[in-house]
Amino acid sequence: MRTNLLLGLQAPGSISDALSPDQYGNAFTKVYLDHASHGGNWGASLHPVDNGFPYGRDFSTGVSNAALIALTNNGQAVEFARKLTQMGIDFYPMWLVNDKGIEGSGFGWGYKLPILFAGIMLNHNGMVHPPLYRTGTINNFPEDRWKSYGAPVSGWPQGKPLWGTVDSERNECPPDLAGNGECTGQPAPYRICCSSFTWVGQALAARLMGALDLWSHPAYFDYVDRWVGEPGSWLYGDTGNYGAIYGFGGQFVRDMWQTNRN
């Protein structure tokens, strides 16, 4: 492992919460099997019960925290880098041979960063260039499938980054996306409850590692910037605003973002 590439950034005090065993359990210490096609509950039903988060929202949040921990000067940084690298080794062949792109709702997030992270750490050409598309222009990785650009608007001259998908398989929210609004169809609540906040730490980690070009889907990073910059959208039904750290998935990610997202 090329641990010399780890950045050693100053860790905020909130890292203590992110390092709590309650956050991870055995999730990053044992083989994480998720090889079922079609994802969703199919994949969740096959996860070993003693390791791995069964739900993508929770797994993606864990990956965000782990990736940022690995980039700090904390004494456990290298250990978390090893855990993420092993996870990338586990995931890479799954994404080479399986139809893992069919995911939705709160499932499927968080697999791409460990693969890229492992590729960078191991200088592995295949891992830093994983298969991005299944057929045509359908993104292999779910977090990319749910990001696209709409028409240019103020602040987004290249197009407003949107949440939703209009690919030929799922076609979830075509009227809303066609009108350059946010997805308001059946999957819409998942934008707030189970997806957007889980990506903030991963997007920051990829930026800090210089992996934007390797990620090869700029709408993902632009959407995360837009999400963080619109706290008024962190609302769900009648529950009101979720608070200052909700949109980041936790205080540690928020602190790292505010310090290192230039």
Whether 114 contacts 96, CB under 8 Å: no
pLDDT above 60: residue 226: yes
Percent of the chain topping pLDDT 90: 45
67 pLDDT more than 60: yes
Q: Determine phi and psi for 156, rounding to 5 degrees.
A: -135, 70
pLDDT reading at 173 higher than 70: no
- Those residues with Cβ within 8 angstroms of residue 4's Cβ, 6 or more apart along the chain or in another chain: none
Q: Where are the beta strands (DSSP E) in the chain?
A: 147-149, 161-163
- Whether the per-residue pLDDT at 41 is higher than 80: the answer is no
Q: What is the mean pLDDT of residues 175-186?
A: 60
Q: What is the rounded CA–CA span in Å between residue 56 and residue 110?
A: 7
Tell whether pTM > 0.75. yes
- Alpha-carbon span 89 to 117, nearest angstrom: 10
* pLDDT at residue number 238: 56
**Model pLDDT, residue 178:** 47
The mean-pLDDT minimum among 30-34, 187-191, 217-221, 223-227 falls in: 30-34
3-state class of 125 per DSSP? helix
Q: Which of the 8 DSSP states describes residue 156?
A: B
**What per-residue confidence (pLDDT) applies to 97?**
74
Mean pLDDT across the chain: 83
pLDDT at 240: 56
| pLDDT (0 to 100) of residue 136 | 65
Say how far apart CA 43 and CA 58 lie, in whole Å: 14
Q: Give the mean pLDDT of 121-147.
A: 85
